[in-house]
Structure 1
Amino acid sequence: MSLMLDRTERRILEALQQEGRMSNVELAQAVGLSESPCLRRVRALEEQGVISGYSATIDQRRVGLQVTAFVQVQLEKHDDQKTQAFLEQVASERHIIECHAMSGAYDYLLKVVAQSMDHFSEIAMQGILRFPGVKGIESSFSLLTVKQAAPLPIGS
């Protein structure tokens, strides 16, 4: 469900996407509010689920995850029980960092990070291909990240 955000709320969200560690004082100054109303608005956005969390952006290569693969998954058939079991396996695999249900020729698109090609091969062949209901997979590898974790275009 989409909420109608006013100009100030959009400015708060834009500022927090740029710098999530910004203090309430800094945020209030950036959006032109006093501190108490600013904090109330941020808390309301959190309670409404518009702000779903805060996190740090980590350079995956610096922590040893050299490979990024996009894995297209086709399921055998759309049996609710097998689909649920598949999704549970996806949720439990730490190296699958995104999963999207898709329209088109395949059913799911997974973003997978791995330490090396050998590690990715193990994740794919010993893991994803053995997940319940999987008919087949096709993998593509990122050669260069051009844009990642861009702020959502919330502005007016």
Structure 2
Amino acid sequence: MPISLDRTERRILEALQQDGRLSNVELAQAVGLSESPCLRRVRGLESEGVIAGYSARVSQRSLGLQVTAFVQVQLEKHDDQKTKAFLEQVAQEQHIIECHAMSGAYDYLLKVVAQSMDHFSEIAMQGILRFPGVKGIESSFSLLTIKHPSPLPIEN
């Protein structure tokens, strides 16, 4: 169930999504609060789980990860043990950066980053296809990122 946010909390979230490195002083100025109430609001949003964490956006290409693939995974059957083992393997593979359970023709959608097509082939053939319960995979490759991960819309 969505949490009810007031105008100030929405402004805090919008500001932090734009720049998570804002100091409390800068954030307080940006949202029109004094420092102590601003800090209390931020800590409240953190404790409620609205602010899930802070991170830096790192350039994928600067790390030599030139390939982005979206891998559709179909499982053999929906056996709880095999599904759990599959998800454990997904969690352990550092090149799988997102995993979504899906409705429709396939069971999971993975976002995979790799250094090259050869590297992706190794991840797919020696890794994902050998994960427990995998019946088959179908991969599509990103040619160009049009929109990078962006701030969530803050509505209320």
Q: TM-score normalised by the shorter chain: which range applies? A: over 0.9
Q: CA RMSD in A?
A: 0.8
Q: 1:96 deviation in Å?
A: 0.2
Identical-pair percentage: 85
Which residue is 1:52 aligned to? 52
Secondary structure of 1:84 counterpart: helix
Contact 1:70/1:111 (CA < 8 Å) preserved in 2? yes
Secondary structure of 1:120 counterpart: helix
Residue deviations 1:110-147 (CA, integer Å, cap 9, x gap): 00000000000000000000000000000000000011
Residue deviations 1:66-96 (CA, integer Å, cap 9, x gap): 0000000000000011000000000000000
Residue deviations 1:48-76 (CA, integer Å, cap 9, x gap): 11111100001100110000000000000
Q: 1:149 deviation in Å?
A: 1.2
Q: 1:155 deviation in Å?
A: 4.2
1:1-150 superposed matches below 5 A = 1-150=1-150
TM-score between both structures, scaled by the size of structure 1: 0.98
Secondary structure of 2:68 counterpart: strand
Question: Take 1:9 and 1:77, find their aligned partners in 2: how far apart are those partners?
Answer: 45
Question: Take 2:62 and 2:23, find their aligned partners in 1: how far apart are those partners?
Answer: 28
Secondary structure of 2:21 counterpart: coil
Contact 1:11/1:155 (CA < 8 Å) preserved in 2? no
Contact 1:14/1:155 (CA < 8 Å) preserved in 2? no
Is 1:151 the counterpart of 2:151? The answer is: yes
Aligned residues: 156
Which residue type is aligned with residue 118 of structure 2? D
| Structure 2 stretches lacking a partner, 5+ long | none
Secondary structure of 2:41 counterpart: helix
| Structure 1 stretches lacking a partner, 5+ long | none
